[in-house]
Structures are given as C-alpha cells and as structure tokens.
Amino acid sequence: MKAIVLKRAGSPDRLVLAEVPKPVPESNEVLVRIHATSVVRGDVVMRKMPRLVAPLLGETPRLIPGHEFAGEIEATGENVTVFKIGDRVFGTTSGLTQGSYAEYLCVPADGMVAHMPPDVGYEEAAPIPVGAMTALHFLQAGNVGPGTRVLINGASGSVGSYAVQIAKRMGAHVTGVAGASNAELVASLGADSVIDYSKEDFTEGAEKYDLIFDAVGKTTARRTEGVLAEHGRFVSTRKRRREKVEERQAVQDMVASGAVRALIDRSYTLEQISEAHRYVEGGRKRGNVVVVVAQG
C-alpha cells in the first residue's frame, strides 16, 4: 500500500511517499481503507520530535504518522461483532504503532473508532475526532453548563471552532477571540460575541468569564486572572490529555445530531502532505486541514 513515512524527525520534506506492506487485522481489529485524514498541530509537533524523545513524553514514535481518519471497513478480525465489512467509520490512531497517512490502517474494534453518521462525508468526518474531543474534554474540565460565560481564545482554529459549537450546545454564553477576517465565521458557529484580537486584548477588558479556554496555547492563567469571575477557571490545550471512549461516543452523538460540524480550510492529496504540513505549521489555518487519501 501507499503510505507517508517519516524515518527521521525534521522538516516537512522528511515526509516521503512510499510502498509499505498492507496491514492484516488481528482477531479484535478492523482493517480500514482510509478515504481521508488530516494534519493537526500535534502532527507537526510529532514530526519534529526525535524518536528517542517521544517515549519520554508518553508518545509512540511512528514510521507512518497521522492521528485521525475516516474510511470504510474492508476486513474484520474473527472476534469483531460491532463492525462489518462496508461500514463507514472515523476515529483516531491514539496508542497505535501506525498512523493514518496511509491507504490502510488496522484499529482495535473497541478503541477509538466509531460509525460515521450516514449524511456525513469522509472529508468532513476525518478532521472531527481530535479537535472535537479535545474541546469537549476541556469544556467539561471547566464545568461548562447553562448560563456559563465562556471565552474561547483561538475560536477560528480547529479546537476553537469545535469549542464554540460544543459550548453553545452545553448552554453557555460564548465569546470567541479571533482575527477580524474570521469574526463572521466564528459568529456563524454560534458565538454570542467576537473579540478582534488585533484591536482589543481580552485580558484587559471589563467583562468577567466563568471559564477561559485557551484553545491555541498562546496565553497563561496568570495573564487572564483579571478577567476571570470569582471561582472562574482557566484551561489550555498546553495541558496534555488522553482520549477516552466516552468522549468519542459523545462526539459521535453530536455529529449525528448535527450539533457539531467540521470547518474545512484546505484540502490536499496524500502526495501533497509536505505542503499541508507547511501550511499548518505556519499557524494561519482556519478550522481544519484535510488530506484526501482515496476518492469515493
């Protein structure tokens, strides 16, 4: 099969298209023919991380990178009962030795893989799991509920765009922080108000928030103390987290109900993966960057 391999950490040019053996599912695994994957900020970090350093940080070094996927099940292990050949699925490669920058991937049937809603396409589903689960995790950590006043820094990014949608579903009053060119977009996701960071520093405003969610890891708890309400909380994507099956299920339900949708900035082919990495590394993307692996 075709796959992107990374033999040594470094620049995007180290990502090389190659032929590698097609994986075979174990008894508890499914073989997914990948239609689409994505490039997230974590993929850029892992690409630049030396293989000897990754285990020290709790990461699994991979020859084939890539964190999330959407595709069709081509084969199942003998003990798999929850999926069948032809099922459309999406999920993440957390804890696996192979990533999603490939034509095929084997994943445990009881792991981070779920059925896709019937009206969602592969390119829309692929970039949902990582960003949406991350947003859900930190909003839950911040005890968001009806009436909670939430500020989301980086509201037009991948995690931020999902956070706006999920926080509104939770009943919060949402303020998004984004550039002027993205203000209308953030409002369309459900934000009650939008702060243009090029004109206003939200940490110096008069408004108080019950939760400040730094979805881009660019500020600190200390800088936001002046705009936190009494007993308010600050959370940031700088803090490491582990994905949970419960979060995967919750995101699957939100996608199926239409409460969450992916914001797609650009699409690339697998052959253009280096270009996709360069674009994400530039820090100017809106929402998500998709990589098409197979058409249809």
Taking the mean position of all CA atoms in its chain, how far away is CA 15? 20
Contacts of 246 (CB under 8 A, 6+ apart): none
Give per-residue pLDDT as tens, 2-58: 999 999 999 999 999 999 999 999 999 999 999 999 999 999 999 998 877 777 767
- Give the 3-state DSSP-derived string for 222-262, with helices as H, strands as E and coil as C: CCCHHHEEEEEEEEECCCCCCCCHHHHHHHHHHHHHCCCCC
Q: How confident is the model at residue 60 (pLDDT cuts 50, 70, 90)?
A: confident
Helix, coil or strand: residue 17? strand
| Residue 263 C-alpha from the chain's centroid | 11
The predicted pLDDT at position 50 comes to 86
For the chain, which residues make up each domain, given as ranges?
Answer: 2-128+262-292, 131-236
Q: Where are the alpha helices (DSSP H) in 146-217?
A: 158-169, 183-188
pLDDT reported for residue 296: 59
End-to-end CA distance of the chain: 18
Tell me whether residue 2 is exposed, middle or buried, using C-beta atoms within 10 angstroms of its C-beta: 0 to 12, 13 to 18, 19 or more: middle
Measured in residues, the chain has a length of 296
Evaluate whether 128 touches 136 at the Cβ level (below 8 Å). Answer: no
Least confident of 46-60, 66-80, 120-134: 46-60
Q: What is the CATH number of domain 2-128+262-292?
A: 3.90.180.10
Question: Under a CB-based contact definition with an 8 Å cutoff, are residues 210 and 145 in contact?
Answer: no
- Asked whether the beta carbons of 216 and 161 are under 8 A apart, the reply is no
User: pLDDT tens across 251-274, in order?
Assistant: 999 999 999 999 999 999 999 999
Count Cβ atoms below 10 Å from residue 155 Cβ, excluding itself.
32
Q: Which fold has domain 131-236?
A: Rossmann fold (3.40.50)
Quickly count: other Cβ atoms within 10 Å of residue 93's Cβ.
27
CB neighbour class for 188 (10 Å; exposed up to 12, middle 13-18, buried from 19):
exposed
pTM of the model: 0.93
Q: Do domains 2-128+262-292 and 131-236 have the same CATH topology?
A: no
Beta strand 104-108 with 113-115: parallel, antiparallel or unpaired?
A: unpaired
Mean residue pLDDT across the chain: 94
> Which residues touch 267 (CB under 8 Å, ≥6 apart)?
123, 289, 290, 291, 292
